[in-house]
Amino acid sequence: MTHNYETSPKASHPALVILALAMGAFAIGTTEFAAMSLVPFFARDLGITEPEAGHAISAYALGVVVGAPVIAVLGARLSRRTLLIGLMALFAIGNGLSATSSSYTMLLFFRFVSGLPHGAFFGVAALVAASLVPSNKRAQAVSLVFLGLTVATIIGVPAANLLGQVVGWRYGFGVVAVLAMLTMVATFLFAPRQPADPDASPLRELTALKRPQVLLTLLTGAIGFGGLFCVYTYVASTMIEVTKVPESRVPLVLVAFGVGMTAGNLFWAWFADRNQNLAAISAFIWSALALAAFPLVATNVWLLGFDVLLIGFGGGLGTILQTRLMDVAGDAQALAAAAHHSAFNTANALGPWLGGMAIASGFGLTSTGWIGVALSLGGLAIFMLTLALFRRDARRAELREACPA
């Protein structure tokens, strides 16, 4: 594989750099997931239905899908430090204006703006974190940045929801804007002052889209991650209607998901730094098994909670794929890294959509588990094809070197 990433001897405090980036990830994770739990509050305040309010979630996701590749390409000539600060500034503005929205239309627009820097921030932050450590520690460095996102599902989301209940939904977005500004300051103080790559250009970044390995790795994530989101989206409904537990129990199971994802993020990164391909294959098999168990344990709240934790544990696959993209993107690092989050949000749309179709067709809420299995195995199949093509191309390259024309 081609390893094309910068090393950063100028970062005198790598831990502080990663902490600053993880703070930004925490802010992003909080607004992404907490917005779902704030829907009833801003629906009531703005005089709209909850399904209409739910479109604000879709507007954010659309911003992520659009913003990740566009910003990565347009920001190709900027230094990574400057780009990170600019992205957090845009994120702070989007969330701050979301908090002041006086109409449904304004809220939709500002949620879209808030989503624009999401993917590019994670992509560039992953590249910076990887540049701070030896090559055999890259996945673990990236996982520490992503740790901010997973911890947000445990701490940030419940806190924002509590703010929404006690003092109003606007404060949930306002606090995220403040966290984004703190991230800007920390990044300014601690991020390495690497000059921009003089050879970088939007055209060079776009070459990532010509690389089959990049496209197949992105497709692996877009399909393979759908299973996790398929089940997560309908966990609350399953607990209330199938498990028959009070609504007050639902947050506890969602916290279990966050704990599982946090632990899995660290474990799979450690595994990937030792054997990236085996780690990815194992993560897919783990997820398929955990998702297959979901319909079987849905009537028992304790078994369901434990299984949701196991499903969350499989979410560490994201770090593996993010690191693999660094290996196969060549010179187009920023676009490939950012596009990973477009793929992630595609999975976030695909999984719940397929799960909703299964439920609407009369297969029941627990059918999301079987849809999840199919998506995980689909992701595994695409990944195996990706590896087979990579090995074929590597063999052909060796033969050309051994027998030049």
CATH of range 201-405; options 3.40.50.11540, 3.40.50.2300, 1.10.1060.10, 1.20.1250.20: 1.20.1250.20
- pLDDT value of residue 6: 44
Q: What is the DSSP string of 172-232?
A: HHHHHHHHHHHHHHHHHHHS--PPPPTT--HHHHHGGGG-HHHHHHHHHHHHHTHHHHHHH
In the CATH scheme, what is the code of domain 11-195? 1.20.1250.20
- pLDDT value of residue 34: 77
pTM of the predicted model as reported, rounded to 2 decimal places:
0.81
- pLDDT value of residue 18: 92
One-letter identity of residue 201: S
- Pairwise CA distance, residues 88 & 156, whole Å: 18
Topology agreement, domain 11-195 and domain 201-405: yes
What Å distances lie between residue 105 and 56, 93, 164, 404, CA to CA? Answer: 9, 17, 20, 62
Strand residue runs (E) in 221-342: none
- pLDDT value of residue 389: 93
Q: Which residues of the chain have pLDDT under 50?
A: 1-9
What Å distances lie between residue 76 and 63, 129, 377, CA to CA? Answer: 19, 18, 35
- pLDDT value of residue 4: 45
- pLDDT value of residue 2: 42
Q: What is the separation, in whole angstroms, between the first and last Cα of the chain?
A: 24
- pLDDT value of residue 405: 57
Domain segments of the chain: what residues?
Answer: 11-195, 201-405
What confidence tens digit (pLDDT) does each residue in 199-255 have?
666 767 777 678 889 999 999 999 999 999 888 878 888 888 899 988 778 778 888
What is the total residue count of the chain? 405
- pLDDT value of residue 7: 44
- Pairwise CA distance, residues 17 & 403, whole Å: 47
What confidence tens digit (pLDDT) does each residue in 253-279 have?
888 988 999 999 999 999 999 999 999
One-letter identity of residue 64: V
